[in-house]
Amino acid sequence: MTKQNAAPVRLYVNGAILGYKRGLRNQYNHTSLIKIKGLDSKEDAQFYLGKKVAYITKVSTAGGKNGSKFRVNWGKVCRAHGSNGVVKCKFARDLPPQSIGGRVRIMLYPSNL
């Protein structure tokens, strides 16, 4: 049996970077706030805990293992933030300030179902 006219499988959900975790006088650069598309409650955010997050940037010079012009900063969803679909994420390297307002991909793996 062969698949015909099968759409490619999407393994991620889009998200937007809102900024850093903040207090009244402190800013915590190691924790980023991310709004996940289609997520509207704290209970639904439980599904995304532990999922990997990718912040992808394009660079001018090819490098790395496969000669790609893209670099990825990987992170992980830690917990919910508030009650409207925002989550806190920690990245391997802190996200740069120019990433605020940018896009990330929240991978649908690893799965804990």
Q: Output the pTM of the full model.
A: 0.88
Please say if the pLDDT value at position 13 is more than 70.
yes
Separation of alpha carbons 11 and 106, rounded Å = 9
Over residues 99-109, mean pLDDT: 96
Please say if the pLDDT value at position 68 is more than 80.
yes
Domain ranges of the chain: 12-107
Please say if the pLDDT value at position 105 is more than 80.
yes
SS3 (DSSP) at 36: strand
Say yes or no: domain 12-107 is CATH 2.40.10.190: yes
Q: What is the pLDDT of residue 3?
A: 65
Q: What is the pLDDT of residue 1?
A: 62
